[in-house]
Structure 1
Amino acid sequence: MQLLVNIDVADLADAVRFYGAAFGLAPVRRFGDDGVELGGMQTPVFLLRKPQGSAAAADSERDYARHWTPIHCDVVVDDLDAALVRAIAAGAVQEGVTREAAWGRIVQVADPFGHGWCLLQFHGRGYDEIATA
């Protein structure tokens, strides 16, 4: 089984620039004017051009204003402070303060297309610091 991450965006060129500048991802292959596969993470990321207001799931329309979803992606980084500066410079918006936990540090950001992301920096054994039997 393989996991693919598909991200709907209103402007493909802007999204390629953002994800390259924010997370260091680079185009691997293109699918005409409507899609780009990005490499640079363990999981392939596909940017899919879907116009604002186009049909989405369950009789809804795409809206690229900031939105919440119970599924989001975490980007694990070596230096959270540097990654946050890079993401903000690329166009991300920081949402809340950086928080400390037994396993590491976390900060939430939103990309220019309304999608939420978390930047994580693990300490020690990462999530194993809080794992239970």
Structure 2
Amino acid sequence: MAQVLINIDVADLDQAVAFYTQAFDLAPARRLGAAGIELLGAEAPIYLLCQPPGSRTAGTALRDYARHWTPVHLDFAVDALEPALARVLRAGGVQEGSVREAEWGRIATCADPFGNGLCLIEFSARGYDAIAGDAA
């Protein structure tokens, strides 16, 4: 099985470290040159990579740290939604919309200070089993 690594492009490494350590209780583990930090404390390591605005991404796109949408984003499963949301907001994150409820639990959509979307999820007792069916 492949190991999953999470890379998050940011415009300011110090600000990003402050946000992710305060909001999610992650800890810096290794500095990767002048433009990278490894954070541990989640189920997969998270790498904050400082990339200047306007620098080239894949293809011909240029980095823009305004709020943007991507179908790939981070979900942080939390024990209690309101305290976790308060930590994200205190650390400089932004809540987008109201808390929503579903059979599997509750969700708050947010963005980090660099426009990257993330969700906070508080699972119900059954979690995804509440909506799970056969995968085949």
Q: TM-score range by the shorter chain?
A: over 0.9
Q: Does residue 1:15 correspond to 2:54, yes or no?
A: no
Partner of 1:81: 82
Alignment of 1:31-46 (within 5 A): 31-46=32-47
Partner of 1:67: 68
How far apart, CA to CA, are the structure 2 residues paired with 1:38 and 1:124?
A: 29
Alignment of 1:1-133 (within 5 A): 1-133=2-134
Misfit runs of 4+, over 4 Å:
none
TM score, norm. by length of structure 1: 0.98
How far apart, CA to CA, are the structure 1 residues paired with 2:132 and 2:84?
A: 26
Structure 2 residue runs of 5 or longer lacking an equivalent are none
Q: Deviations over 1:1-48 (max 9, x none)?
A: 100000000110110000011111110100121100000100100000
Supply the AA of the counterpart residue of 2:35: D
User: 1:57, CA displacement in angstroms?
Assistant: 1.3
How far apart, CA to CA, are the structure 1 residues paired with 2:125 and 2:33?
A: 44
Q: What SS does the corresponding residue of 2:113 show, helix, strand or coil?
A: coil
User: 1:71, CA displacement in angstroms?
Assistant: 0.7
Q: Deviations over 1:104-124 (max 9, x none)?
A: 100100000000000000011
How far apart, CA to CA, are the structure 2 residues paired with 1:8 and 1:113?
A: 8
How far apart, CA to CA, are the structure 2 residues paired with 1:127 and 1:109?
A: 21
TM score, norm. by length of structure 2: 0.96
Q: What SS does the corresponding residue of 1:96 show, helix, strand or coil?
A: coil
CA RMSD in angstroms, aligned pairs only: 0.6
Q: What SS does the corresponding residue of 1:81 show, helix, strand or coil?
A: helix
How far apart, CA to CA, are the structure 2 residues paired with 1:58 and 1:107?
A: 32
How far apart, CA to CA, are the structure 2 residues paired with 1:70 and 1:31?
A: 27
